[in-house]
Amino acid sequence: VTEKSYSHAVVIGGSIAGLLAARALADHFAEVTILERDCFPAIGQNRKGVPQGHHTHALLSSGQQALEHFFPGLTAELAVQGAVVADPLLAARRYLGGYYHCQFESGLQGLYLSRPLLEGQVRRRVLALPNVRAMENCDVVGLVASEDQQRITGIRLLHRSGDGAEKTLKAELAIDASGRGSRSPQWLTALGYDKPTEERVHIGMGYVSRYYRRNPDPQGTALVSISAPPQTRMGVLAAQEGERWIVSLAGYLGDYAPTDPDAFLEFARTLPAPDIYAIIKDAEPLSDPVPARFPANTRRRYEQLKHFPEGYLVLGDAICSFNPVYGQGMTVAALEAQVLHELLQQGQHRLAQRFFRRASTLVDNPWDIAVGGDLRIAGVVGKRSPLQRLMARYLDRLHRAAQHDPKVVMAFGKVVGLRAPSKSLLQPSLVWRVLVTNRQSPPAPRPTIDSMPKEAS
Ligand SMILES: Cc1cc2nc3c(=O)[nH]c(=O)nc-3n(C[C@H](O)[C@H](O)[C@H](O)COP(=O)(O)OP(=O)(O)OC[C@H]3O[C@@H](n4cnc5c(N)ncnc54)[C@H](O)[C@@H]3O)c2cc1C
């Protein structure tokens, strides 16, 4: 066992962000304790604290890279457990902004699997580390601070199966990874600190997901993604382990996808493209439709606080939770955990200030993508800057060019996969390609079920 620089760290929440934070901490702390309110189920099973586990979870390419970096061989292990590994630009049919992106071999590897399988396997790897342990059924209820309140020295917890008495656990560093419902703002104000400013962009989204049997598909499709703002309805269908499709349908601003099976199918029929409807209309359902509501993109600006205690950080959805349709949350959590790992190598001095600054820069791009995309829906309230309006018009043209030009698809894929900043789409060489490609090709007609490839309909 190599010598560690620090003694004990605790992580509040044992979901993706908490597990990845624990993985990063394990290289620097002699002991890491994950405190989780739930009891962990078997790998692949859903649990109460992560209700979003019933819904499609896309893992973006940069997130997959970060996971593989923390857990070498993870992708191969997941494939053995049934996750579908496929070229994301060949096996994915994307109807975006009114056009189908062309499909081609890219040499990239996408991973299609359920959220409970991914989380379960990551948990298995983290808990196999000799210096990491989990305390389940543990509700963290507050923080313990030094007498001068300048440093967090531990947390207060209630053990759900215990005698009801509050206990404390000491830690040199505590990390809140308890998700979007994080109580850090309240815990910090109880110690005399200010709350972080909270930015919210209300989208009033209603999500419904359902599993279907996935019959062998001659086209090798692993993903269908349909979204064409300003239309408020969107859908995604993705291959999952166990020869299944998961289908998630969503609508903005109260145009919720319905849970009634017939109405669910009808909602699929009204999406801007017919591909999902064509696949599921005769497919065997394997589960009931499960709903979720997602009211708003929410970002807490910890980096702007003038005073923040030593020995405490906040990470993952607890900092920022994005409209799920962009599939960013797990990837951002993984990238934040990488930042944490890197910063701890330089010591703990002013860790919170350094971490929140870096995390904020990291969140800027996915936040702009999510909010910029959502502001294309007419009723979504928020400031539409001239640059955003220009970008929206340009994206329409980019999607049109992406019908024909693999380079345009690649450039767009890098941005939505969080491997390149949004502004890379404005590189003159790409703008030129978009303009030239569009001049040479007419816009596509609106797709109908009769215009679908035979095998899929
Ligand atoms: C419908 C939906 C679909 C999504 N789709 C995608 C997607 O396609 N791709 C993607 O990358 N992301 C997606 N996300 C986001 C993704 O689920 C999260 O970003 C990801 O789980 C990381 O969140 P987290 O670990 O910070 O918090 P969470 O996953 O919310 O986990 C918080 C954990 O903390 C525990 N906890 C909470 N309070 C306490 C406490 N006081 N004491 C102890 N434990 C506590 C909870 O039980 C839970 O285990 C989606 C989200 C939703 C809602």
Query: What one-character-per-residue DSSP string does 26-67 give?
Result: HTTEEEEEEE-SSPP-STT---TT-GGGGS-----HHHHHHH
Model pTM score: 0.96
Task: Evaluate: CB of 116 within 6 angstroms of ligand 1.
Answer: no
Write out pLDDT tens, residues 409-421.
Answer: 999 999 999 999 9
Confidence (pLDDT) at 388: 85
Instruction: State the Cα angle at 51 between 50 and 54, rounded to 5°.
Output: 110
Other CB atoms closer than 10 Å to residue 6's CB: what's the count? 17
Beta bridge partners of 138: 159
Confidence (pLDDT) at 453: 59
Nearest ligand 1 atom, CA 49? 47
Confidence (pLDDT) at 217: 76
Write out pLDDT tens, residues 328-340.
Answer: 999 999 999 999 9
CA–centroid distance, residue 321 to ligand 1 (Å) = 9
Strand 29-35 relative to strand 233-240, pairing: unpaired
CA–centroid distance, residue 317 to ligand 1 (Å) = 6
What distance in Å separates the CA atoms of residue 56 and residue 210, rounded to the nearest whole number? 9
Angle, helices 16-26/115-127, rounded to nearest 10 degrees = 20
Nearest ligand 1 atom, CA 38? 47
Residues of the chain with pLDDT under 50: 1, 455-457
H-state helical runs in 234-282: 261-269, 275-280
Confidence (pLDDT) at 79: 97
Confidence (pLDDT) at 3: 80
Task: Evaluate: CB of 114 within 6 angstroms of ligand 1.
Answer: no
What distance in Å separates the CA atoms of residue 55 and residue 43, rounded to the nearest whole number? 16
Strand 173-176 relative to strand 6-12, pairing: parallel
Is 10 strand, coil or helix? Answer: strand
Write out pLDDT tens, residues 89-130.
Answer: 999 999 999 999 999 999 999 999 999 999 999 999 999 999
Identity of the amino acid at 144: V
Task: Evaluate: CB of 136 within 6 angstroms of ligand 1.
Answer: no
Confidence (pLDDT) at 20: 98
What distance in Å separates the CA atoms of residue 267 and residue 219, rounded to the nearest whole number? 25
Confidence (pLDDT) at 1: 47
Query: C-alpha distances in angstroms, 305 versus 15, 144, 174, 197, 330?
Result: 26, 20, 18, 8, 25
Task: Evaluate: CB of 327 within 6 angstroms of ligand 1.
Answer: yes
Best residue among 36, 157, 240 to mutate for probing ligand 1's pocket (most ligand atoms within 8 Å of CB) is 36
List, edge to edge, every strand of the sheet that includes 244-251.
99-100, 92-96, 223-227, 233-240, 244-251, 198-213, 290-300, 320-321
Confidence (pLDDT) at 160: 85
Nearest ligand 1 atom, CA 316? 26
